[in-house]
Structure 1
Amino acid sequence: MIMCFPKGLICANEPLNYKVNNGRVIGGSDAKPNTWKWQISLQLDLYNEGSFSHICGGSIVDSFYIMTAAHCIIRWVFLALDICSLFEYEGSEQFTSVEKIIVHPDWNGDLANGNDIALLKLVNPIYDNGYVEITNLPYPDQTLPHGFTCYITGWGLMDYNGSVPDKLQVAPLAVVEHAVCSQPEWWGSIALKTMVCAGGDGVISGCQGDSGGPLNCLTDGVWRVHGVVSYGPAGVCNQKFKPTVFTRVSSFLHWMYSVNNMHEATRMK
């Protein structure tokens, strides 16, 4: 599950004696249906034929807004909500298009510069059909301790061979504190304090197709989305000392709440 990004790749050397992990989502497993209700699939009609393909993930942060990564943004996108299987219609899905794209004003296309976050305003509001849910967000500037276990979810590649999952995948990732992740043998100076690093054990990781999706963490007794998948190593996704890097949501709450008067009270529980 992270993304070895189609745009602005940040490269890392492929480790010697690398062996493909044949587990789901590079160490993950099929997610239990109706569990990660705020996860969405961002989809694009590549050939204008009415056939949409998954390109990135995202999180429901308001009945009218989706949070995703800025580098995922393509002009015309389509959202599929409450889906567990990408290839099987389950009857509980919601589908909607995007009315407006709001990219963070300091995003310049360089993943190492940070600010890789965007909001998508929907044409129609998301309705509660029992299968979708607005996520909770962290507190302003909230950080997670080193080693804290969170979960990444998405439909990213499952192995180095490019296997695509049918079912939504979930995998545990341990948070790597900034003091460690910013060391030279890890991500060095491109790991910013406005980012969250998680993983890096060489076994479990995200992979291409997970960008924009959530880092789900149980804090204060509530599941909150603490991160938005931003970047990872090119080539082999699950490299040791190269954890998945997320945009730290708690660093961007002020901007998010300023966008068209999103209501802070509904985000914090």
Structure 2
Amino acid sequence: MIWLVTFVSCIWLIGAEAPPNHYVRNPRVIGGHDAQPNTWRWQVSLQFDSYNDGSYYHLCGGTIIDSYYIMTAAHCIISMQANQYRVVVGEYDLYKYEGSEQFIRVQQIIVHPGWTEDLAKGNDIALMRLSSPVLNNGYVEIANFPYPNEMLPHAFTCYITGWGLIDFGGSIPATLQVAAINVVEHSVCSQPNWWGSIALKSMVCAGGDGIVSGCQGDSGGPLSCYTGGAWRVHGVVSYGPAGMCNQVTKPTVFTRVSFFQDWIYSIVRSF
């Protein structure tokens, strides 16, 4: 039996308010480094207030897909009470207010109707409608989507970003992390010594080299790939192996955005 661990964050309290990235070689995302400020402008920090007392902590990543909508993982929705969440866009250092951030409350949560809380069955995707729009202040950007049903070739290099653990059992980084990560095509990822039958065609696998991976806190964040002449978000961080996050032949698994575009558009265009 394969044990899965969802990449939900550790509970680290974030101060009152709090941006973009800087290339320093440190082991992060796992196997990554500090991102350059104002680079991955569609990246979101999804934050949660457990006790409704204004003390938010980084829970998951997310992606700006519309001025009013954020995309994240369904397993990041630990409460359907929208007023317990906020998103921070233009974020870079979780513990510093740098003037690039926008703090926006969540108005509505829409979880994919096929989500069963079983990661192996997929559909690990959710949208959040915001109470006010993301404003173009020069530090944010609406993500581009891939072509409908597009699948990436084996070994294609993409990038994972987030504030997840820098090592299993380690600490959450202050600054946004980025790492190059190679796609593992479905015919490989679905082999028995990889993820087997729980690697679905509605997912993207990337990593599995024992060096680079997502980890707790990266859930819901984007897999960004340069395709069709633009940066496009091809995946939403979903799951990885129990124990150490960066295991050989156990790549990080993402919800494949191109598989869910009809559903996404049906929600975003309904308002």
TM-score (normalizing by structure 1)? 0.89
SS at match of 1:56: strand
Match of 2:207 in 1: 199
Match of 1:51 in 2: 55
Equivalent residue runs for 1:16-31 within 5 Å: 23-31=27-35
Equivalent residue runs for 1:1-269 within 5 Å: 4-5=5-6, 23-73=27-77, 74-75=79-80, 76-261=84-269
What residue identity is the alignment partner of 1:228? V
SS at match of 2:52: coil
Extract unaligned runs of 5+ from structure 2: 9-25
CA distance in 2, matches of 1:100, 1:43: 15
Deviation at 1:56? 0.2
SS at match of 2:267: helix
CA distance in 1, matches of 2:178, 2:43: 11
Deviations along 1:230-269, whole A, 9 cap, x unmatched?
Answer: 0001110000000000000000000011114169xxxxxx
Contact 2:7 2:214 in 1 (8 A): no
What residue identity is the alignment partner of 2:74? A
CA distance in 2, matches of 1:111, 1:135: 25
Deviations along 1:28-69, whole A, 9 cap, x unmatched?
Answer: 000000000000000011232211000000000000000000
What residue identity is the alignment partner of 1:189? S
CA distance in 1, matches of 2:221, 2:119: 16
What residue identity is the alignment partner of 1:117? I
Contact 1:4 1:207 in 2 (8 A): no
Contact 2:7 2:219 in 1 (8 A): no
Contact 2:67 2:133 in 1 (8 A): yes
Deviations along 1:6-47, whole A, 9 cap, x unmatched?
Answer: 78xxxxxxxxxxxxxx71221100000000000000001123
Deviations along 1:170-229, whole A, 9 cap, x unmatched?
Answer: 001100000000000000000000000000000111100000000000001100000000
CA distance in 2, matches of 1:258, 1:205: 32
CA distance in 1, matches of 2:113, 2:35: 34
CA distance in 2, matches of 1:262, 1:68: 19
TM-score (normalizing by structure 2)? 0.88
CA distance in 1, matches of 2:230, 2:102: 25
SS at match of 1:61: strand
Deviations along 1:130-165, whole A, 9 cap, x unmatched?
Answer: 000100001110010000000000000001232210
What residue identity is the alignment partner of 1:55? L
The number of residue pairs the alignment matches comes to 247
SS at match of 2:6: coil
Contact 2:7 2:239 in 1 (8 A): no
Moved over 3 A (4+): none
What's the % identity of the aligned pairs?
66
SS at match of 1:223: strand
